[in-house]
Amino acid sequence: VILRDPVHGLIPFDTEEDQIVVRLLGAAEVQRLRRIRQLGVTSLAFPGAEHSRFVHAIGTAHVMKRLIERLRRVQGDLPAWQRLTTEHAREALAAALLHDVGHGPLSHLFEDAIAGALPHEQWSTRIILDGDSQVSRMLAAEGAELAPRVAELVLGRHQLAYLAHAVSGTVDVDRCDYLLRDAHATGVPYGRYDLDWLLRSLRFAPLPDPDAGATLAVDGAKGVVSIEAFVLARLFMFQQVYFHKAARAAEWMIRAILSRAAALLSDGTSLADVPAAIAQAAAGRPVALGDYLELDDDVLWGAMHAWESAADPVLADLTRRLRARSLFKTLELYEEAESARSRALETARDIARQQGLDPNAYVGLDIASDTPFTDSDDPLAVVFPQGTTRKPGDVSFLLGRLRGETVTRARLIFAPELRDRIRSALGS
């Protein structure tokens, strides 16, 4: 199979080793990702951001394939037990493709909004291991050990530590693909780092002793720039896209809708078109895998559409606003102290109450934050010609200044009719 991809150009899966990807692409659980948009409601702010988690999964597997090719070219000095065998490669390819196979619809909203809902990583694990899934059967057909190893790898654990970091680390294959893909789809140019150069910069750090696990490194000052560019691409995408105020407001509204629906359901109120998975989670019952897999963006939008006619006025109002895209407004809070933010929230909640609106549903404090770079979690090193090894933050002017720093955007989110009073109360 050779696919055309808008981000990577030609994507060939044409070796025996990577046929595992081709087979898994046919699994219903993987195909389901076609129905979940990678960026959730962000397309309300960036109309081009309509790409699905399916095409991102393909891209991630492709980056893993390229990474494997690179690692094999530079693993000559590793002891045999640390090298990438064909088995490891297939585990890595499958893990790359399946890294988000358990993702719920509309970004992380489902697991955040409904108490008791499992995080999506656990759903991914279940899909990989549960004998009822097509994915697990395809993996089992390749050998009994594959599924458990892929499940571990998706959680960032593997006997080859460098492979685990490649699935979940500072410059993992997931990020490698989504930065380029989200930049391509949104039209925001800042996410375009140089993947070719990054891959070519990779090598293994010299082993401190023969029993140590191998760790990845980049090649001197030339290589560090590829990490700098990657880290900055990610930071820009966070600031421009992932933290975009309209998308955050829409996400907040959906979370409020789902919480409200779950509360109503657990109080015994009946609602139309409730997906089974939501009904079960709201009732505190375990969600069956099959029910979970029925959830996708369309199903959730369909339910919210139905709830526009709900008896509960808050649920009906929120869903109507969302569908008509009359989104809540935001007010950026520049104060960094938590107490100041809480005071601002309380002020806004008071205003909502005075206008007869439920503050839980119509006012919120949204804090988005990210630490663009730290070199304490990831052993990724910089290797110099004479074999010296340094931390990226010690070599790079930029990374040194960003190391451990956290970028935070705090915003009040509220119904538009509250805007003037909130603004004047907060003096902004």
What minimum distance in Å lies between the beta carbon of 370 and a copy of itself?
Answer: 10
Q: Specify burial of residue 281 (Cβ count, 10 A radius: 0-12, 13-18, 19+).
A: buried
- Using CB under 8 A as the binding rule, whether residue 130 contacts a copy of itself is answered as no
* CA distance linking residue 52 with residue 34, whole number of Å: 5
Residue 128 backbone dihedrals phi, psi, to 5 degrees: -70, -35
What minimum distance in Å lies between the beta carbon of 160 and a copy of itself?
Answer: 26
CB burial of 220-255 (b: ≥16 within 10 Å; e: otherwise) equals: beebbbbbbbbbbbbbbbbbbbbbbbbbbbbbbbbb
What minimum distance in Å lies between the beta carbon of 414 and a copy of itself?
Answer: 16
- Using CB under 8 A as the binding rule, whether residue 132 contacts a copy of itself is answered as no
- Using CB under 8 A as the binding rule, whether residue 145 contacts a copy of itself is answered as no
Stretch that binds a copy of itself, among 169-177, 190-198, 210-218, 267-275 (CB under 8 A): 190-198
Looking at residue 366, its amino acid is: D
Number of chain residues interacting with a copy of itself (CB under 8 A): 61
- Using CB under 8 A as the binding rule, whether residue 221 contacts a copy of itself is answered as yes
Stretch that binds a copy of itself, among 336-344, 347-355, 359-367, 397-405 (CB under 8 A): 397-405
- Using CB under 8 A as the binding rule, whether residue 55 contacts a copy of itself is answered as yes
Q: Do residues 380 and 231 touch, judged by C-beta distance below 8 A?
A: no
DSSP 308-354: GG-SSHHHHHHHHHHHTT-PPEEEEE----HHHHHHHHHHHHHHHHH
Q: What is the DSSP letter of 52?
A: B
Stretch that binds a copy of itself, among 46-54, 92-100, 205-213, 264-272 (CB under 8 A): 46-54
Residue (260 or 409) nearer to a copy of itself, CB? 409
Stretch that binds a copy of itself, among 120-128, 135-143, 228-236, 272-280 (CB under 8 A): 228-236
- Using CB under 8 A as the binding rule, whether residue 333 contacts a copy of itself is answered as no
- Using CB under 8 A as the binding rule, whether residue 349 contacts a copy of itself is answered as no
What minimum distance in Å lies between the beta carbon of 49 and a copy of itself?
Answer: 9
* CA distance linking residue 98 with residue 321, whole number of Å: 35
Sequence-separated (6 or more) residues with CB below 8 Å from residue 113: 254, 255, 257, 258, 259, 262
Applying CB under 8 A, among 17, 19, 22, 52 the residue interacting with a copy of itself is: 52
Whole-angstrom CA distances from 154 to 60, 75, 91, 168 are 12, 23, 10, 8
Q: Do residues 124 and 101 touch, judged by C-beta distance below 8 A?
A: yes
Applying CB under 8 A, among 289, 407, 425, 426 the residue interacting with a copy of itself is: 407
CA-closest candidate to residue 179, choices 62, 69, 5, 56? 56
Per-residue tokens: 174: 């997931």
381-383/329-333 β-pairing: unpaired
* Residues written for the chain: 428
What minimum distance in Å lies between the beta carbon of 81 and a copy of itself?
Answer: 28
Applying CB under 8 A, among 332, 335, 377, 420 the residue interacting with a copy of itself is: 332
Q: Please, which of residues 269-308 interact with a copy of itself by CB under 8 A? A: 298, 301-302
What minimum distance in Å lies between the beta carbon of 420 and a copy of itself?
Answer: 12
- Using CB under 8 A as the binding rule, whether residue 337 contacts a copy of itself is answered as no
DSSP 384-418: -TTS-EE-HHHH-HHHHHHTT--EEEEEEEE-GGG
Q: Do residues 195 and 143 touch, judged by C-beta distance below 8 A?
A: no
Contact map string, positions 232 to 251, toward a copy of itself, x by CB under 8 A: x--xx--xx-----------
- Using CB under 8 A as the binding rule, whether residue 339 contacts a copy of itself is answered as no
Per-residue tokens: 342: 């809480």
Residue (293 or 357) nearer to a copy of itself, CB? 293
Applying CB under 8 A, among 398, 419, 421, 425 the residue interacting with a copy of itself is: 398
Applying CB under 8 A, among 29, 121, 228, 251 the residue interacting with a copy of itself is: 228
- Using CB under 8 A as the binding rule, whether residue 206 contacts a copy of itself is answered as no
Interface residue list for a copy of itself (CB under 8 A): 2-10, 12, 26, 28, 31, 34-35, 43, 46-48, 50-52, 54-55, 58, 184-190, 192, 194, 196-197, 200, 221, 225, 228-229, 232, 235-236, 239-240, 298, 301-302, 324-325, 332, 386, 388, 397-398, 401-402, 405, 407, 428
